[in-house]
A = this chain, B = another copy of it.
Amino acid sequence: MRPSKRDELVQKALTIFYREGFHAAGMDLLSAETGISKTTMFKHFRTKEELILAVLRLRDEQFRNWLFRRMEQLGPTPRDRMLAMFDALREWFQTPEYRSCMFIKASGEYPQRDHPIHALSAEHKRLLHRQITELAREAGAVEPEVLARALLLLKEGAIVTAHIGHEVDPAGDARAMAEVLIDKALEKH
């Protein structure tokens, strides 16, 4: 078995939690759908919460890897890469299995800020901010942290709007807004 049973479980649990929600997906459903026995699941994780935390750690890694890889592919310059974030997001939104951001949903279902699951979601957002800040700095922004916060705020807005599904192209809207704000942030004075 190349991928360990544990890794296989975490990856499959990710898919199910993402599709169904954390409270809605019970351990019996996970067992039935992953084909991994409950006994094994509880041997690897003492509680459901520990499994969820492992799922979120995997998601953090996979999502940031995917996003920045895609941004690099789509944009030659740092400025282009910032804008390409919204092209990457649009691709994500258009997949049939799209169901919002896993961390937004996690913090929604575990709304207390000191809950480990909520705290991990905050950490994910902080890591994103760090990476986008670096990109904004490369692009020559005077206040790269401010620009990064702006771009990420657009990202969260687009993610939520795309999921609720009442608008046609939130990624496109966010991209157009980003263009204006990036131009302003890179202006020579």
Residues of A within 8 A of B (CB): 19-21, 23-24, 99-100, 103-105, 107-111, 113, 118, 121-123, 125-126, 129, 146, 149-150, 152-161, 163-167, 170, 173-174, 177, 180-181, 184
Contacts of A111 in B (CB 8 A): 19-21, 99-100, 105, 163
Q: Given the complex, which residues of B lie within 8 Å of A161, measured CB to CB?
A: 125, 152-153, 156
Determine if B153 and A157 form an interchain contact, defined as CB atoms under 8 angstroms apart.
yes
A109 to B19, CA, bound (A): 10
A164 touching B107, Cβ below 8 Å: yes
Instruction: Give the residues in chain B near A154, CB-CB below 8 Å.
Output: 153-154, 157, 177
Instruction: Report the minimum CB–CB distance from A44 to chain B (whole Å).
Output: 24
- Please state if B184 and A180 are interface contacts (CB–CB under 8 Å): yes
CB contact between A105 and one of B20, B108, B125 (< 8 Å): that residue: B108
CA of A110 to CA of B125, assembled, Å: 23
Residue of B nearest to A105 (CB): B108
Selected from B125, B150, B166, the residue in CB contact (under 8 A) with A173 is: B150
In the bound complex, do residue A122 and residue B170 qualify as a contact, i.e. CB atoms below 8 Å apart? no
By beta carbon, the residue of chain B nearest A172 is B149
Residue of B nearest to A174 (CB): B153
Chain B nearest CB, measured from A152 CB (Å): 7
Q: Name the B residues within 8 Å of A152 (CB-CB).
A: 157, 161
C-alpha gap A140/B163 in the complex (Å): 30
A100 touches B107 (CB 8 A): yes
Q: How far is the CB of A72 from chain B (nearest CB, A)?
A: 24
